[in-house]
């Protein structure tokens, strides 16, 4: 199964249009959007951006980010694109999601504190026998990893998310949010990827084994003149 994965679009519609032209022959099966679709935008802006992805006529699984407003989340829910607090299947693979950001000094539109994140994760995704590969889609990265460090060197991700990965054991974890920490790490045996900001052209194509959950990650970038 081939996944096209982006995060932190921040309203850059031109990048989305360019991406879909650039990868139109890539035989994508599923499109993943890890939040910050807009930059404080609303329902209509989210619809404009997501319509481009949906034009590919592939399944789209998305979560909102901290810079998305509640109407953006409402659009995703209305169009059955949101997997925030939900699980959806494509073939044998289970997709689960958590949107929004963790608490920050910036008071962005949708943030959850650590207790809220822990409650959302435990109540939405209780432990059960694992019968298929799991891809967990989050906006916020796990704390104390290579994926959550800001320029000062401080880790600002969520410890509750990290603990959830260790206990829930997804096969692949996808996130964004911390632009300067795009990369790949391993958390509790799970391959975790910060996709980096798509506003700057960063994205990934991931080949996922539908039986074992093993993944091959191709980190990519649009034409460097885009999004700069």
pLDDT per residue as tens, the chain (228 positions): 999 999 999 999 999 999 999 998 899 999 999 999 999 999 999 999 999 999 999 999 999 999 999 999 999 999 999 999 999 999 999 999 999 999 999 999 999 999 999 999 999 998 887 889 999 999 999 999 999 999 999 999 999 999 999 999 999 999 999 999 999 999 999 999 999 999 999 999 999 999 999 999 999 999 753 332
Per-residue pLDDT at 128: 80
CA atoms in the 13 A half-sphere facing the CB of 150: 8
**209: buried, middle or exposed (CB in 10 Å: 19+, 13-18, 0-12)?**
middle
Domains of the chain, CATH where assigned: 2-221 (3.60.21.10)
What is the distance between the alpha carbons of residues 201 and 226, in angstroms, rounded to a whole number?
7
Per-residue pLDDT at 226: 36
What is the distance between the alpha carbons of residues 138 and 98, in angstroms, rounded to a whole number?
5
Per-residue pLDDT at 165: 98
Per-residue pLDDT at 4: 98
Per-residue pLDDT at 107: 94
pTM assigned to the model: 0.96
Per-residue pLDDT at 225: 37
| Closest listed residue to residue 206, CA positions, set 130, 93, 124 | 93
Could you tell me if 184 and 166 are in contact, meaning their C-beta atoms sit under 8 angstroms apart? no
List, in sequence order, the alpha helices (H) in the chain: 13-22, 43-54, 70-78, 114-124, 159-168
What is the distance between the alpha carbons of residues 112 and 29, in angstroms, rounded to a whole number?
31
Strand pairing of 190-194 and 183-187?
antiparallel
Strand pairing of 2-6 and 202-208?
antiparallel
């Amino acid at each position: 199964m081939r996944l096209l994965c982006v995060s932190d679009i921040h309203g850059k519609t031109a990048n989305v249009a360019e991406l879909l032209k650039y990868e139109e022959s890539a035989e994508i099966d599923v499109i993943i959007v890890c939040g910050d679709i807009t930059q404080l935008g609303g329902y209509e802006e989210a619809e404009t951006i997501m319509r481009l992805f949906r034009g590919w006529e592939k399944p789209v699984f998305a979560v909102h980010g901290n810079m998305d407003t509640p109407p953006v989340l409402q659009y995703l829910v209305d169009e059955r694109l949101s997997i925030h607090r939900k699980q959806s299947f494509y073939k044998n693979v289970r997709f689960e999601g958590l949107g929004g950001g963790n608490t920050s000094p910036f008071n962005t539109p949708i943030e959850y504190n650590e207790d809220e994140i822990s409650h959302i994760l435990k109540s939405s995704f209780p432990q059960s026998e694992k019968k298929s590969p799991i891809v967990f889609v989050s906006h916020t990265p796990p704390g104390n990893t290579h994926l959550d460090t800001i320029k000062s060197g401080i880790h600002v991700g969520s410890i509750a998310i990290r603990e959830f990965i260790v206990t829930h054991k997804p096969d692949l974890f996808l996130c964004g949010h911390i632009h300067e920490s795009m990369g790949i790490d391993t958390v509790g045996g799970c391959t975790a990827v910060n996709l980096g900001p798509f506003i700057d052209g960063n994205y990934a194509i991931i080949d996922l084994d539908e039986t074992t959950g093993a993944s091959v990650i191709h980190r990519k970038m649009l034409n460097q003149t885009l999004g700069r």
